[in-house]
């Protein structure tokens, strides 16, 4: 059985005080949940949030990382820095990184390898834009993203990753893929993992849905066979909304 994992990506929201307040509220709101619960605040908030969730069931994640261990890379953060701040999970290849900061499959792959080498657990994002979906390229794009991210990764490495399927057209637009549409792509991703590794590995890797999951649609989405959780944006910024998804 794959344990459901719900991760809140707070993006560029919440200052330190607000992040600590939200983290404490999430701990209280989701207490007793069987779901693995992750919060991913902005870099300046990592240590204060770590302290706020210490001793609880909530796990700390980061929103990105750089693949070099150290050096003259102004504005970047290394795997070792994240580890020293108490980070467990790290989001890699988010659609906004691809869209705004020119993230490539090669860069994603380097980050994934660096994260795994450092003992971090990558949440690897894949997914198509509205133009790609309407052009019938969903499977081609997803295949490209998955193959690029997992290039050169052993089966043991792959088993330490989580995939987040992001239909980019459904993020922050109010549009949501139907549960059936989401399940179709999740099943396709699992099939790709069978091709890359084997059926056992594919069955073990968790695949989150990252397309505007909300309390109102979470239960139906999470009931799908191959949807193992959610990577949550807007709904993660309010503890009650996040609770509704975690408890679904």
- Gap between the Cα atoms of 39 and 87, Å rounded: 10
Q: Which CA distances in Å does 88 have to 16, 79, 192?
A: 19, 10, 26
- Gap between the Cα atoms of 20 and 46, Å rounded: 9
As beta bridge partners, residue 231 has 7
- Contact, 165 vs 123, CB < 8 A? no
Using DSSP's 3-state secondary structure scheme, residue 162 falls into strand
Closest CA relative to residue 25, chosen from 5, 39, 7: 39
Q: What are residue 92's phi and psi, to 5 degrees? A: -135, 135
Q: What share of the chain is helix, strand, coil (3-state, %, to 5)?
A: 50, 15, 35
Q: Which of 36, 94, 128, 145 is catalytic?
A: 94
**First-last CA distance in the chain:** 17
Q: Which of 36, 103, 128, 166 is catalytic?
A: 166
| 166 assigned to active site | yes
- Gap between the Cα atoms of 56 and 54, Å rounded: 6
Which residue numbers are catalytic?
94, 166
């Amino acid at each position: 059985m794959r344990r459901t994992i719900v991760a809140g990506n707070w993006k560029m929201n919440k200052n330190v005080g607000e992040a600590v307040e939200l983290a404490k509220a999430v701990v209280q709101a989701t207490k007793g949940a069987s779901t693995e619960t992750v919060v991913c605040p902005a870099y300046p908030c990592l240590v204060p949030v770590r302290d706020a969730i210490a001793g609880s069931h909530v796990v700390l994640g980061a929103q990105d990382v750089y693949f070099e261990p150290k050096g003259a890379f102004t504005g970047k953060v290394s795997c070792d820095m994240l580890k020293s701040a108490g980070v467990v999970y790290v989001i890699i290849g988010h659609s906004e990184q691809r869209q705004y900061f020119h993230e490539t499959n090669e860069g994603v792959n380097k980050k994934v390898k660096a994260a795994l080498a450092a003992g971090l657990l990558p949440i690897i994002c894949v997914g198509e834009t509205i133009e790609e979906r309407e052009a019938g390229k969903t499977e081609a794009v997803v295949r490209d993203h998955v193959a690029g991210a997992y290039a050169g990764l052993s089966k043991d490495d792959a088993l330490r990753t989580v995939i987040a399927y992001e239909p980019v057209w459904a993020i922050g637009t109010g549009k949501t893929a139907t549960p059936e549409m989401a399940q179709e792509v999740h099943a396709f991703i699992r099939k790709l993992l069978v091709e890359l590794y084997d059926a056992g590995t594919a069955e073990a890797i968790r695949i989150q849905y990252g397309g505007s999951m909300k309390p109102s649609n979470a239960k139906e989405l999470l009931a799908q066979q191959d949807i193992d959780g959610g990577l949550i944006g807007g709904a993660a910024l309010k503890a009650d909304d996040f609770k509704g998804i975690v408890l679904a």
